[in-house]
Amino acid sequence: MKKPQIVILGAGPAGVGAAWQLVKQGRADVTVLEQRDDVGGNAGSFGLAGMQVDYGSHRLHPACDPKILNDLRELIGEDLLDRPRHGRIRLQGRWIHFPLKPQDLVLRLPASFSAGVALDAISKFIPRKSNRNGHETFTSVLEKGLGSTICRDFYFPYAEKIWGLSPEKLSATQAHRRVSAGSLGKMARKIVSKVPGFKTPGAGKFFYPRMGYGQISRSIAEEAKKLGADIRLGSTVNRIELGDRHKVTFEREGSMETVDADHVWSTIPLTVLAKVIEPAAVDVIEASKQISYRAMVLIYLVLDQAQWTPFDAHYFPEADIKLTRLSEPKNYSASREPIGKTVLCGELPCSVNDVIWNASDEDLASLVRESLARCGLPIQVPDSQVVTKRLPFAYPIYREGYEVPFGIQDDWADSLERVLTFGRQGLFAHDNTHHALAMAYGAVDCLRDSGEFDTPRWSEYRAEFTKHVVED
pLDDT digits (tens, 9 = 90+) for 181-190: 444 445 444 4
How high does pLDDT run on average in the chain? 89
Beta-carbon contacts of 47 under 8 Å, excluding residues fewer than 6 positions away, are 53
5-79+211-291+400-465: CATH architecture = 3-Layer(bba) Sandwich (3.50)
How much of the chain exceeds pLDDT 70, in percent?
A: 90
Tell me the C-alpha distance between 435 and 95, whole Å. Answer: 30
Tell me the C-alpha distance between 285 and 281, whole Å. Answer: 6
376 confidence band (pLDDT: 50, 70, 90): very high
Stretch 99-124: mean pLDDT:
70
Question: Would you call 472 exposed, middle or buried from its count of C-beta atoms within 10 A (0-12, 13-18, 19+)?
Answer: middle
Q: Quote the pLDDT of residue 197.
A: 45
Helix (H/G/I), strand (E/B), else coil: 93 = coil
Stretch 244-259: mean pLDDT:
96
Q: Tell me: the pLDDT tens digits for 436-454?
A: 999 999 999 999 999 999 9
pLDDT of residue 142 exceeding 60: yes
7 confidence band (pLDDT: 50, 70, 90): very high
Q: Which of 36-45, 166-175, 363-372 has the lowest mean pLDDT?
A: 166-175
Q: Quote the pLDDT of residue 144.
A: 83
Say if strands 246-252 and 255-261 run parallel, antiparallel, or are unpaired. antiparallel
Q: Quote the pLDDT of residue 149.
A: 84
Q: Quote the pLDDT of residue 306.
A: 94
127 confidence band (pLDDT: 50, 70, 90): low
Q: Quote the pLDDT of residue 134.
A: 66
Residue of 382 and 102 predicted with greater confidence: 382
Is the CB of residue 181 less than 8 Å from the CB of residue 187? Answer: yes
pLDDT of residue 128 exceeding 70: no
Tell me the C-alpha distance between 369 and 377, whole Å. Answer: 9
Q: Is it true that 5-79+211-291+400-465 and 293-396 share their CATH fold?
A: no
> What are residue 10's phi and psi, to 5 degrees?
100, 135
Tell me the C-alpha distance between 15 and 42, whole Å. Answer: 12
Q: Quote the pLDDT of residue 104.
A: 63
How much of the chain exceeds pLDDT 90, in percent?
A: 71
Tell me the C-alpha distance between 323 and 333, whole Å. Answer: 23
Is the CB of residue 209 less than 8 Å from the CB of residue 79? Answer: yes
Give the C-alpha distances (Å, rounded to integers) separating 305 from 49, 344, 378, 380, 418: 12, 11, 14, 10, 53
Is the CB of residue 446 less than 8 Å from the CB of residue 457? Answer: yes
Say if strands 263-266 and 5-9 run parallel, antiparallel, or are unpaired. parallel
Q: Tell me: the pLDDT tens digits for 298-350?
A: 999 999 999 999 999 999 999 889 999 999 999 999 888 899 999 999 999 99
- The residue ranges of every structural domain in the chain are 5-79+211-291+400-465, 100-200, 293-396
Stretch 32-48: mean pLDDT:
97
Question: Would you call 319 exposed, middle or buried from its count of C-beta atoms within 10 A (0-12, 13-18, 19+)?
Answer: exposed
Q: Quote the pLDDT of residue 312.
A: 94
Q: Tell me: the pLDDT tens digits for 383-433?
A: 889 999 999 999 999 999 999 999 999 999 999 999 999 999 999 988 899
Q: Quote the pLDDT of residue 152.
A: 83
Beta-carbon contacts of 99 under 8 Å, excluding residues fewer than 6 positions away, are 85, 87, 190, 191, 194, 204, 472
CA atoms within 13 A on the CB side of 268: 24
Tell me the C-alpha distance between 380 and 174, whole Å. Answer: 38
Name the CATH superfamily housing domain 293-396.
Protoporphyrinogen oxidase, mitochondrial; domain 2 (3.90.660.20)
Q: Quote the pLDDT of residue 93.
A: 85
Secondary structure E strands in 267-372? 277-278, 293-303, 313-315, 325-327, 342-350
- The DSSP line for 207-243 is EEETT-THHHHHHHHHHHHHTT-EEESSEEEEEEE-S
192 confidence band (pLDDT: 50, 70, 90): very low
Q: Quote the pLDDT of residue 126.
A: 67
Q: Tell me: the pLDDT tens digits for 51-86?
A: 999 999 999 999 999 999 999 999 999 999 999 999
Please give the model's pTM, rounded to 2 decimal places.
Answer: 0.91
Specify the DSSP element, H or E, that contains 461. Answer: helix 455-465
